Structure 1
Amino acid sequence: MTTTPTFRPATLADAAALAVLVDIAGEGAPNRLWLDIAGPGHSALEVGRERARREEGGFSYRHTTIAEIDDEIVACLIGYRLDDPYDLSGVDELPAMFQPLLRLEAQAPGTWYVHVLATFTEHHRQGLGMKLLDVANERARETDAPAASIIVGSWNEGAGRLYRRAGYEQIASERAVLPPDLPQSGDWILMTRPVTTGALS
């Protein structure tokens, strides 16, 4: 058995695993949203799987890099370059949960945005997060983005430490609006770092 990860583009067959990883990254908030969409008697994760199978949109397998160890999916990176200029028209009509996130994205136009970075629990502390941030840096360089960006909850101290260690710095924050039954509270923090020619670690 090896602990060295390999990276590949996601495929439609990865959609179920991506739904779980996105819910892990969102600390349960995606599942609440998907459950509302699915309705009684239906699976929230099936809604997540369908979203992962989309050809377009932020949460799409086409924007995803899979990390595998011994042919097992262990983590993922979902990201893409943000529009420049960034269009905020209609943001006030969206659910309140998403508005602060979009306002923060608008403050990093043209950057390569790390939308999701997630690892299955049993593979934590193996350096996968930093390796995937290296992949994000490569993707940003390939698209000629001037910087990479990421948004993290102020309550997620472990993720914040990882991003700072990778060279990300806070540039803005917005109060988070989360489902009332979730224990988290605090701010969404926008962090950016310049694109480099070498590994971050």
Structure 2
Amino acid sequence: MQMIQLEKPLRLAVEADAVALAELINFAGEGLPLHVWTGLAQEGEDPWEVGRARQADKAREGQVVVIDFGNGAVAGLNGYGIGAEPEEIPDDFPVLFRPLQELENQALESWYVNVLACYPEHRGRGLGSQLLDLADEIGRAEGFSPMSIIVADENIGARRLYKRKGYSEVAQTPCAKNGWNTKTENWLLMIKPLS
């Protein structure tokens, strides 16, 4: 992620943010991350520990921006540019992620907002909107024209926010639950042109 100047309360996440980052990504993923970490955990290992380790890696790589008012991360953003060629989806591609990759393959040459999340007690304060504005800046800085995001159909609040920020629903695909207990029926791809 090519970084732009971050001013307080924005900052790059650090390894010490791993607990908050794992919780935030699980909010953003509607519980899917915890389901995946549970499958990855060794016998006797806490699935949250798996998630925290993965998020610590992302923080060390400078891939996550957080909002921190002085007491730790309360919201976070990460994303990446999608290339010009669709990713191959081999037969052994994880079933849960197949629909998401299919949608990403319809958002070529866009900057993809992979995680946008906020702790529930901090919602309604414009933090998601602030992070989406930052995503636009990063997308522009990295030379992308459209922005893209995937959201669960039942996440009405997020969909409303994305529409307000200029995103439009362009495609959807059924959610592959594969043992994941969720109300999500479809994943929706939303695209926003950058002016």
TM-score, normalised via structure 2 length: 0.90
Deviation at 1:16, TM superposition (A): 2.1
Q: Which has the higher contact order (CA 8 A, sep 6+)?
A: 2
User: Aligned partners of 1:181, 1:35: CA distance in 2, in Å?
Assistant: 11
The residue that corresponds to 2:12 in the other structure is: 9
Q: Distance in 2 between matches of 1:52 and 1:82?
A: 21
Tell me the secondary structure at the aligned position of residue 154 of structure 2. coil
- Secondary structure of residue in 1 paired with 2:84: coil
8 Å contact kept, 2:95–2:178: no
Structure 1 residue 146, shift from structure 2 partner? 1.1
The correspondence of residues 27-176 of structure 1 with structure 2, limited to 5 A, is: 27-54=30-57, 62-90=62-90, 92-176=91-175
SS of the aligned residue for 1:19 comes to helix
Q: Partner letter of residue 189 of structure 2?
A: L
- In the TM superposition, residue 85 of structure 1 has moved relative to its aligned partner by 1.4
- The alignment covers a number of residue pairs equal to 189
Change (3 A) 1:163 1:118: same
SS of equivalent residue, structure 1 residue 97 = helix
For 2:150, the aligned partner's letter is I
- CA spacing shift, 1:138–1:100, aligned 2, 3 Å: same
Contact 2:87 2:101 (C-alpha < 8 Å) held by counterparts: no
- Say if 1:61 and 1:122 are closer, same or farther in 2 by CA, change over 3 A: farther
Counterpart CA distance in 2 for 1:33 and 1:145 is: 30
Identity of aligned residues (%): 38
Letter aligned with residue 189 of structure 1: L
Amino acid at match of 2:20: A
Aligned to 1:199: none
| 8 Å Cα contact 1:12/1:61 also seen in 2 | no
Unaligned runs of 5+ in 2: 1-7
Deviation at 1:96, TM superposition (A): 0.9
TM-score, normalised to structure 1's length? 0.87
Give the whole-Å Cα distance in 2 for the aligned partners of 1:43 and 1:25. Answer: 20
In structure 2, what is the Cα distance between the partners aligned to 1:167 and 1:46? Answer: 36
Separation of aligned partners in 1, 2:110 and 2:142: 9
Q: Tell me the CA shift for residue 140 of structure 1.
A: 0.4
- Root-mean-square deviation over aligned CA pairs: 1.9
Return 5+ residue gaps in structure 1 as ranges: 197-201
Following superposition, the deviation at residue 61 of structure 1 comes to 5.2
Match of 1:188 in 2: 187
Amino acid of the residue matched to residue 41 of structure 1? Answer: G
Letter in 2 for 1:183: T
CA distance in 1, matches of 2:82, 2:56: 21
DSSP 3-state at the match of 2:88:
coil
